Structure 1
Amino acid sequence: MRKWKTAAFGLIMASFTGCSSSEFLEESPPKAYLEANNHLYETKVGTYCWKETCVDKAGPLELLKTEKPIEVKANEPLALIIKHKRQPTERHMVQIQNKNEVDVPLKKNKMKAPSERGTYYYYSYSVWWMDKNQKNVSNGDALYAFVLEVK
């Protein structure tokens, strides 16, 4: 009898949490990390819309002005990791150098470090959590930025 009451209570509580207007309980987007050489480096969160809040921040170059670059080896494999139970459904990566933007192809959230040594490379990683039921509706989005120095 006690197990039944516990299970019923759990189902009732689950039904209340499922009625939220947003699937996300956190007040801000999850952190994103760059994995390089078996180490996780935290990225800088830029502009985002999460739950019912949109925050407009400076662009990637301004966000990263005081950040220490992540040191990587030329052509080193890199991975982007977002620690959240629901992963973004759309992603877009851009490399910014000398105010020029170049799309960076990602395969399963992985890329390679640039081959040219000694240069700073700035990146803007944009992600969207698209609604499963409504076409072209985002339940949340975020921009993450990081800077690399190729050694």
Structure 2
Amino acid sequence: MRTWKVTAFGLIIASFSGCSSSGVLEESPPKAYLEASNHLYDTKVGPYCWKNTCVDKAGPLELLKNEKPIKVKANESLSLVIEYKRQPNEKHMAQIQNNHEMEIPLKKNKLKAPSEAGTYYYSYSVWWMDESQKNVSNGDASYAFVLEVK
């Protein structure tokens, strides 16, 4: 009997705490994926501020040190996909190779793989800026992934 009451109470609380279209509570930023050759690859969530909680994590190189690189072809077209009803309205992409960081331009969440063979680390930072209040973020997140260009 007690378990039933606890479960019912949890369901009632969940119904008032804001659910995504998938019905899962949004306690952390949405997942982001890298799409390459019609396949979605997970990215690693880095530092973020979401629902009044800020989490500090290691930078992209440290986050990705035990991850297998995503193998891509030189100059391959890549896309970034965030599965969330409201897309971020401010984005920044950085590429890191040999301790050298450079900004990578994005066009409609698309980028090209580097033209030279090697291992490249990326940090994709996004913000959901408030549309009615200037310079107010409703959430932000950084995602990291590593590419191996053959």
Q: Which interval holds the TM-score relative to the shorter structure? A: 0.7 to 0.9
Question: Hey, what does 2:31 align to over in structure 1?
Answer: 31
Q: Please list, as runs of the form range in 1=range in 2, the aligned pairs for 1:14-53 lying within 5 A after superposition.
A: 26-53=26-53
Question: Hey, what does 2:138 align to over in structure 1?
Answer: 139
Question: Hey, what does 1:102 align to over in structure 2?
Answer: 102
One-letter amino acid of the structure 2 residue matched with residue 147 of structure 1: V
Residues 1:52 and 1:76: Cα distance change in structure 2 (over 3 Å)? same
One-letter amino acid of the structure 2 residue matched with residue 149 of structure 1: E
How far apart are 1:26 and its partner, in Å?
0.6
One-letter amino acid of the structure 2 residue matched with residue 58 of structure 1: A
Bigger Rg over Cα: 1
CA deviations on 1:46-67 (whole Å, 9 max, x unpaired) are: 0000011000000000000000
Question: Hey, what does 2:56 align to over in structure 1?
Answer: 56
One-letter amino acid of the structure 2 residue matched with residue 39 of structure 1: H
One-letter amino acid of the structure 2 residue matched with residue 75 of structure 1: N
How many residues were matched structurally? 129
How far apart are 1:133 and its partner, in Å?
1.1
Gaps of 5+ in 1: 1-15, 19-24
CA deviations on 1:29-77 (whole Å, 9 max, x unpaired) are: 0000000000000100000000110000000000000000000000000
One-letter amino acid of the structure 1 residue matched with residue 74 of structure 2: A
Mapped partners of 2:123, 2:99: distance in 1: 12
Normalising by structure 1, report the TM-score.
Answer: 0.83
How far apart are 1:98 and its partner, in Å?
1.1
Percent identity over paired residues: 79
Q: Please list, as runs of the form range in 1=range in 2, the aligned pairs for 1:71-110 lying within 5 A after superposition.
A: 71-110=71-110
One-letter amino acid of the structure 2 residue matched with residue 100 of structure 1: H
Question: Hey, what does 1:128 align to over in structure 2?
Answer: 127
Deviating beyond 3 angstroms after TM superposition, the runs of 4 or more aligned structure 1 residues are none
Gaps of 5+ in 2: 1-15, 19-24
One-letter amino acid of the structure 1 residue matched with residue 33 of structure 2: Y
SS class of match (1:65): coil
SS class of match (1:26): coil
How far apart are 1:128 and its partner, in Å?
0.1
Mapped partners of 1:138, 1:96: distance in 2: 26
Cα RMSD for the two superposed structures: 1.3
